[in-house]
Amino acid sequence: MSGRLVRAVAPGGPPVRILVDGVEVTAYAGESVLVAVLAARNALRRHEFSDEARAGFCLMGACQDCWVWLVDGRRIRACTTVVAEGMHVSTGAPADFPRHD
Amino acid sequence: MTRVAIVGAGPAGIAAARVLSARGAAVTMIDEGRRPGGQIYRQPRPGLPLDIETLLGAEGENYRRTHAVFDDLRQHIDYRPLTLAWGVEDRTLHTIRGNAAATVEFDALILATGATDRTLPIAGWTLPGVFTLGGAQVLLKEHGCLIGRRVVFCGSSPLLYLAAKQYRAMGAEIVAVLDTTPFGAKVAATLELAAAPRMLARGLGYMGALRRVGVAVHHGVELRAFEGAAGVEAVRLRSRHGDEITLPCDAVAVGFGLKPETQLAELAGATLAYDNTFRQWLPRADADGRCGGNVYVAGDGATVGGAQAAALTGELAACAVLEDFKTAVTGIDRAHSRRQVARLRRFQRGLARAFAWPTDLIHNLADSVVICRCEGISAGELRASIRADFGPREVNRLKAITRCGMGRCQGRFCGLAAAELTARTLRTPLEAVGRLRTQPPIKPIPLAISLAENSAAAVRDETSAPA
């Protein structure tokens, strides 16, 4: 599928290129990581305890369901973090991160 | 000079800051948002050509006015956006921005923390594409984005109708509006709803507008499941006539009213009291928002009342602070404001009846349905724990045993359902099983933090005029 979210307004603002699992995705300055990823993908991450795909829920920084990894090892809350040029988002945990299930 | 810390930059926080700043108090405003406005008056990101005032319709004028107030205020207060207030003790607020920690010393603390959506567990509610109703609106306001192309709006809330109308105006196909409360409940609540006739008329207008353009609106439905493989593909429901219906869609917005963010009030020492209309625990406060000590609450974080009540209670809390710190309050008709607030809150109580929280939906959940999204704890696990010998009799014990409510959201999205399920399983009143106690930090903070300077200069933000 293309993306889950639909940009209903001409995006406006300069494009920002990010990587999602190594694939380039075009976003726009000021967009959240959640918008950037979900406009191109079905989901944001895998749930730690079940392997379910998750795509966030509250979209306002309360439910904490949209925390994703960056390839550099940081973790960010996708709905409240703005995209930056070259940011590399990983929808999975790093290979050496311990599994919970 | 009285030092007042305000947490939250929605209509309540902004109104409080205006009153205090104009009367010489030193105001520090802590805002988790990137820009002021809270959730209701969330601003489009810079550069997005979205006509927000038109989108907001009847609320557009209040949006414009609230932001104009903030713009006038900006240079007179210490505004700290993107900053989480994660804890409070005595006269100190603990904050973090990115990984820069800071403290804010205050004489008085006004908590205008707002609310999130009240949700309940439904089979499939963790599927990608299922979002909260408020979230669906926030996404539209800030990013001009829709949660999907073919959207079902469901739950029990007057905002279902408003959000569906906004989504339709922005090009979404509205598959249906599914309201779990029977239409009769709305008629029965008319007397209380008449406390705010203009708002009642506006709500009826949204319903009528949707029907006129052919949007299917169903009352009294039972939501059975959100279904799909990689993401939501359909909503399965039982109509009020008992028919099983499956509606294909690619997104769902679900909400059952609002849930005040009371965590900081609790940590600051406010007493939380059980409210049977909302079936929630709310900070106990006088008509002006005094919780005792130096703590004040305003807006939906105190009691859900809507944006107009939020601004009025923000003003009242600010006046209470001034009065308690021996500053004369003139030019504000507080008696009038209190009457308005009482009327608007009566209206909200009517709404709570007209759009009921369907507790039976929780009790009828299959054992396999996930209650705690963070930890992945199912209804069956909770029931088994409660029914075991020496099983938990209140929700904090339930949390300790099952991990329900122990995850990153700290029970924000499972706590109410877990309490309902516990009470029903034990056949005790809801208030007897208590509520999940708040622990700081109230949201996740990084382990690696640095100490920032406690000054406005250390905090760069997008609302400052370029130097």
pLDDT digits (tens, 9 = 90+) for A78-89: 999 999 999 999
The tens digit of pLDDT for each residue in B6-16 reads 999 999 999 99
pLDDT in tens, B153-171: 999 999 999 999 999 999 9
The residues with which B78 forms a beta bridge, in sequence order, are B28
- The pLDDT value recorded for residue B200 is 86
- Give the C-alpha separation, A79 to B139, whole Å: 9
B128-154 average pLDDT score: 98
B11 min Cα distance to partner chain A (Å): 17
User: Measured between beta carbons, which residues in chain B are less than 8 angstroms from residue A12?
Assistant: 47-49
Range in B196-200, B335-339, B379-383 with the lowest mean pLDDT? B196-200
* pLDDT of residue B358 exceeding 70: yes
Structure confidence by residue, pLDDT tens digits, A34-84: 999 999 999 999 998 888 999 999 999 999 999 999 999 899 999 999 999
Kindly report the number of other CB atoms within 10 A of residue B66's CB atom.
25
Mean pLDDT of B174-200: 90
Residue-level pLDDT at B293: 94
Q: Given this model, what pLDDT does residue B453 score?
A: 53
CATH 1.10.10.1100 domain extents, chain B: 365-433
Is B145's CB within 8 Å of A8's CB? Answer: yes
Q: Is pLDDT at A101 greater than 60 in this prediction?
A: no
- Can you tell me which residue has the tokens 């196909």? B173
> pLDDT value at position A100?
62
Per-residue pLDDT, B458: 45
Print burial letters for B156-170: b (CB count within 10 Å at least 16), e (below 16): bbbbbbbbbbbbbeb
- Write out chain B residues lying below 8 Å of A43, CB-based: 128, 230-231
Residue of A nearest to B33 (CA): A80
- pLDDT-derived band at B451 (thresholds 50, 70, 90) equals low
Longest dimension (CA), chain A: 43
Fold of the domain built from segment(s) B365-433: Arc Repressor Mutant, subunit A (1.10.10)
Contact (CB<8Å) A80/B49: no
What number is the ipTM of this complex?
0.97
Q: Which two tokens stand for residue B109?
A: 């603390």
Whether residue B450 is predicted with pLDDT greater than 80 in this model: the reply is: no
The answer to whether residue B466 scores a pLDDT higher than 60 is no
Q: Across the beta sheet with B217-219, what order do the strands follow?
A: B130-132, B251-255, B150-155, B173-179, B217-219
Question: At the fourth CATH level, which superfamily is domain B3-116+259-332?
Answer: FAD/NAD(P)-binding domain (3.50.50.60)
* Least Cα separation, residue B255 to chain A (angstroms): 10
Highest mean pLDDT: which of B183-197, B199-213, B427-441? B427-441
Residue to mutate among B55, B117, B131, with most A CBs inside 10 A, is: B131
Which of A2, A9, A81 best probes binding to B when mutated, by most B CB atoms within 10 angstroms? A9
Q: What integer is the mean pLDDT of B128-148?
A: 98
Average the pLDDT over B184-206 and give the result. 87
Q: Please, are residues B91 and B194 in contact by the beta-carbon 8 Å criterion? A: no
Task: Residue A42: list chain B partners with CB under 8 A.
Answer: 128, 230-231
In whole angstroms, what is the distance from residue B167 CA to residue B55 CA?
A: 9
Domain with CATH 3.50.50.60 in chain B: 3-116+259-332, 119-256
For residues B204 and B201, what is the distance between their CA atoms, to the nearest angstrom? 5
Q: Does B455 have pLDDT greater than 50? A: no
- Interface contact flag, B48 A12, Cβ < 8 Å: yes
Q: What percent of chain B has pLDDT over 70?
A: 96
Chain B hits for A56, Cβ within 8 Å: 131, 135
For chain B, what is the radius of gyration of the CA atoms?
22
**Does the structure show a pLDDT above 80 at B454?**
no
Over residues B299-307, the mean pLDDT reads 95
Is residue B130 over pLDDT 90? yes
User: What is residue B49's predicted lDDT score, i.e. its pLDDT?
Assistant: 95
Contact A57 B407 (CB under 8 A): no
Q: Are B123 and B371 a contacting pair, CB within 8 Å?
A: no
Q: Which of B148, B375, B443 sits opposite A6 (nearest CB)?
A: B148
With beta carbons less than 8 A apart as the criterion, state whether A28 and A5 touch.
no
Residue B91, pLDDT score: 96
User: What global pTM score does this model have?
Assistant: 0.95
* Average pLDDT for B429-443: 97
Which chain A residue is nearest to residue B116, measuring alpha carbons?
Answer: A62
Residue B457 has what pLDDT? 43
A→B interface, C-beta within 8 Å = 4-14, 28-32, 35, 39, 42-44, 47, 49-50, 52-65, 67, 77, 80, 82
What angle is formed at CA B10 by the lines to CA B99 and CA A36, rounded to 5 degrees? 55
pLDDT of residue B373: 97
Superfamily of domain B119-256: FAD/NAD(P)-binding domain (3.50.50.60)
**CA B205 from centre of chain:** 24
Confidence band of B456 (pLDDT split at 50, 70, 90): very low
In this prediction, residues B215-222 reach a mean pLDDT of 94
- Residues of chain A contacting B148 with CB distance shorter than 8 Å: 4-6
* Residue B217 predicted with pLDDT over 50: yes
Of B203 and A17, the structure prediction assigns the larger pLDDT to A17
Interface test with A, best of B145, B174, B443 (most A CBs within 10 A): B145
Whether the ω angle into residue B121 lies within 30 degrees of 0, i.e. cis, is no
- pLDDT at residue B390, as a whole number: 94
Do B113 and B264 contact (CB within 8 A), yes or no?
Answer: yes
Is B461 a residue whose pLDDT tops 80?
no
Question: Is B413 in Cβ contact with A57 (below 8 Å)?
Answer: yes
Helices B307-324 and B60-73: angle between axes, nearest 10 degrees: 30
More confident site: A94 or B456: A94
Residue B278 has a CB neighbour count (10 Å cut-off) of 20
Nearest chain B alpha carbon to A31: B143
Burial state string for B192-231 with b = 16 or more CB within 10 A and e = fewer than 16? bbebbeebbebbeebbeebeeeebebbbbbbbbbbbbeeb
Mean pLDDT of chain B: 94
The pLDDT value given to residue B315: 98
**Nearest residue, CB atoms, B132 vs list A10, A14, A58:** A58
Q: Given an 8 Å threshold on Cβ–Cβ distance, is A55 in contact with B129?
A: yes
What pLDDT, on the 0 to 100 scale, is given for residue B465? 41
CATH fit for domain A15-90, picks 3.40.50.2000, 3.10.20.30, 3.40.640.10, 3.30.230.10: 3.10.20.30
User: Quick check: B132 and A49 CB within 8 A?
Assistant: no
State whether A64 and B45 contact (CB < 8 Å): no
What pLDDT does B187 receive? 86
* Nearest alpha-carbon partner for B163 in B255, B278, B300: B255
- Of B6-15, B58-67, B194-203, B277-286, the poorest mean pLDDT is in B194-203
User: How much is the average pLDDT of B137-142?
Assistant: 98
The CA distance from A93 to B258, in Å, is 33
pLDDT, average across residues B189-200: 86
Q: Is the pLDDT of residue B233 over 90?
A: yes
Cβ partners under 8 Å of residue B417, min gap 6 = B120, B121, B362, B371
Task: Place B42 in a pLDDT band, splitting at 50, 70 and 90.
Answer: very high
- CA B252 to CA B127: how far, in whole Å? 10
Q: Which helix (H) or strand (E) holds A38?
A: helix A33-38
